[in-house]
Amino acid sequence: MMAGEQKASLPNLFQDKSRPCLSSWPEEVDELYVVSRFFVEEWRKFVRRPTRCSPVSSVGNRDLLCPHGGLMFTFASMTKEDSKLIALIWPSEWEAIQKLFVVDHTIRVLRRQPEEASPDSPLYVTEPELCSDCREGLLCQQQRDLREYAQATIYVRKVVDNTKVMKDSAPELNVSSSEVEEEREEARPEGEQDPDFNQANSNPKRRKVSHPNYGSYQKQGIRRSTRHRKVRGEKALLVSANQTLKDLKIQIMHAFSVAPFDQNLSIEGTTLTEDSATLGSLGVTPESVVFLKADEPVVDYAAIDDVMQGNQNHTQSQLPPHSPQLLWGG
C-alpha cells in the first residue's frame, strides 16, 4: 500500500523520466531541489520489491553536507563528476517528498538574474552555500585515495587493430541490470561493500572529510553509482598502487598469454611505457580500464624460403646414388 502510494505520487522519479538537468536548465522553473542518489536508489528498491526491502522513511540530506552544515559540491561539479552522487528534484516533486518522507535538510539550486547581467548570463547559487574548506579537503582525500590503494580492481581489455574486441554484454538473466546489481549488493555483508574506502578513511588527519555521515554516504552511494559495467571477455586484475608496470605486465601475461615484450598498454589514450614506474604514478586508479594491444609476430618469408631450400638440398644430398634402371624386355 505504501509503495503503491509513493510510486503514484512520484512516477517520473521512479521511472527516471523527464529529469531536470543543471547543464541545460529548464526554463519553466527558477529552483531545483537536491537529494542524494543513494536515497533515490534505496527508495526505488523498496517500491520495486516492498515485501523484501525496508521502507525508506527519511531523505537523509545531511549526508551531502559537511559538519559545518555547508554543501560539499559546487554547481560546476554537480553538472559533471558529482552528478552521479545527487538527484535533481522538480519543485512539484519536492512537495510530494515533504509529505511522504522526513526531510532533515533542504538543499536547493536557484537561478537568479542580476540586474546588471545579460539574460544569457544567469547566476546560479545553492542553499546552503558551499563550504570551501571541506570541499578542498574532500578533493585532497579523493586524490590520495586514487594514488594510495592496495588490492584494488582494474580491468584489462584487449584490442586488435585499435578496435575493441569485446562488446558490451547484455545484463545477466532476464532482469534489469539495476536489479542484478541490487541483488549482489544485498548479498554482501555489511562493512564489506567498500574495503578500499574504509581503509583510506582510517587516516585521522582529514577530520573534515572523514565526517561519519558523509563517509557513510560515500561508502554506500558512490560505489553503487560508479560501478564498472561488465564487458564480455574483459579480465579483472587485483593490483596495488606501489607495484610497477612490469609487475602488471606479468599479471597480464598469465591472464592473456601475451608476453610482456609484446604488450602495448594504454589508459585513456596515454601509452604506458616505463616498466619501472609505479601504477599510482602512471595514473592507474581503481576501476581503471587498461587497453592491451599485442604485437603480432613478424613473418620473414625470405628467411623461411632460405631455410626450406637448405632443408631440401640437405635431404637430396642424403639420398643414395641413382641406380641404373633395368629394362625388361617382353
Q: Residues 257-286: pLDDT tens digits?
A: 999 999 999 998 899 999 999 998 898 988
Q: What is the mean pLDDT of residues 145-166?
A: 77
Contact 72, 65 (CB under 8 A): yes
pTM of the model: 0.56
Angle between helices 177-187 and 37-48 (to 10 degrees): 100
H/E segment holding residue 138: helix 132-147
The terminus-to-terminus CA distance of the chain in angstroms comes to 111
H/E segment holding residue 183: helix 177-187
Q: CB-side exposure of 77: number of CA atoms within 13 Å? A: 13
DSSP symbol at 272: E
- Cell digits for 43? 527508495
Average pLDDT, the chain: 77
Contact 265, 182 (CB under 8 A): no
Contact 240, 175 (CB under 8 A): no
Strand partners, 308: none
C-alpha triplet 160, 161, 167: angle, nearest 5°? 50
Please give the pLDDT value at position 117: 64
For 72-87, the pLDDT digits (tens) are 999 999 998 888 899 9
pLDDT for residue 33 is more than 80 = yes
**pLDDT band with cut points at 50, 70 and 90 for residue 217:** very low
Report for 111-115, 160-164, 209-213, 305-309: range of highest mean pLDDT: 111-115
Please give the pLDDT value at position 227: 62
Q: What is the mean pLDDT of residues 211-219?
A: 44
More confident residue, 160 or 322: 160
Say which range, 20-34, 161-175, 243-257, 294-308, has the weakest mean pLDDT: 161-175
Please give the pLDDT value at position 303: 60
Distance between CA atoms of 6 and 42, rounded to whole angstroms? 13
- Cell digits for 57? 522513511
Provide CB contacts within 8 A for 204, sequence distance 6+: 210
b/e per residue 201-239 (b: at least 16 CB within 10 A): beeeebebbbbeebbebbbbbbbbeeeeebbeebbeeeb
Q: What is the mean pLDDT of residues 231-242?
A: 86
Report for 79-83, 114-118, 159-163, 303-307: range of highest mean pLDDT: 79-83
Classify 295 as helix, strand or coil.
Answer: coil
Percent of the chain with pLDDT over 90: 43
For 85-96, the pLDDT digits (tens) are 999 999 999 999
Strand partners, 36: 86
